[in-house]
Structure 1
Amino acid sequence: MPVARLRNVVLDCPDPLELARFYAAVGGGTPQEEDPDWVVLHVPDGPRLTFQRAPGLTPPEWPRADRNAQQFHLDFDAGSTWEEVDAAEERVLALGARVLDREDFEKKDFRVYADPAGHPFCLCRIDHG
């Protein structure tokens, strides 16, 4: 029997509502602003993401482990073909993400991006076969 049930994945960021809107556009759901420093996003069929104001946040530097290691990242299933991943990439870039790593992505089946606050996340090609 587990000790406790996971309630939230919390991301520190300078602007909680802005980052919650970004992830709502990527993974679905509607941000609920509980107060200006705390916003909740219920991702359909996913975890509850919460965004907490952290004015002095220094984002990690990908892929450097010696300076603000990534600490965690989110993986998103972007489809089973590279065409689907390409389309998802185009959309996240238009939302304000930036590419961190596309090197050898065909071998790795994922691409790494930074969200608008600098947190790394991946768009993954998942073989559903």
Structure 2
Amino acid sequence: MPIATYCLVALDCPDPEALAAFYAAVLGGEVKNDGEDWYDLYAPGGHRISFQRAPGLTPPEWPRGDRNSQQLHLDFDVQDIDAAEQQVLSLGATPLDLDDQGGERGFRVYADPAGHPFCLCRA
């Protein structure tokens, strides 16, 4: 018997409303807020990502592990990685590692506007 039931992933960020909007543009779904310091994205498929205000957040430095390691990252499957890349970049993502080794690696790494790493993965 499990001890708990999965609820959500919460990301610290300086502007939770803006980061929730970024991920809503990437994934779809509905953003709801519970005050100015906490926003939830209810994404299709029943998944929930929350965004919590953290003033002075120092974003992780990918791929370094000696200081401010990535701590966690999100993976998103996409049908057309080139088209998806252009879309996330236009939304404010920053490229971190785009060398997918000619498609052999199957993913590319970006940072969201608050600096959290995420990957676009070939479905």
Partner of 1:11: 11
* Cα 1:85/1:46, change in 2 over 3 Å: farther
Q: Is the 8 A contact 1:9 1:47 kept in 2?
A: no
| TM-superposed deviation, 1:46 | 4.7
**Aligned residue identity for 2:15:** D
Q: Is the 8 A contact 1:105 1:111 kept in 2?
A: no
Whether 1:101 and 2:101 are equivalent positions in the alignment is no
SS in 2 for 1:89: helix
SS in 1 for 2:104: helix
Deviates more, 1:95-104 or 1:108-117: 95-104
Deviates more, 1:42-51 or 1:16-25: 42-51
Whether 1:124 and 2:118 are equivalent positions in the alignment is no
Whether 1:87 and 2:83 are equivalent positions in the alignment is yes
> Which ranges of 4 or more aligned residues in structure 1 deviate by more than 3 Å?
none
- Residues in 1 aligned to 2:11 and 2:63: alpha-carbon distance in whole angstroms: 19
Identity of aligned residues (%): 62
The unaligned stretches of length 5 or more in structure 2 are: none
| TM-superposed deviation, 1:105 | 5.7
* Cα 1:105/1:35, change in 2 over 3 Å: farther
SS in 1 for 2:3: coil
Partner of 1:38: 38
The unaligned stretches of length 5 or more in structure 1 are: none
State the Cα RMSD in Å: 1.0
Q: TM-score, normalised by structure 2?
A: 0.95
Partner of 2:58: 58
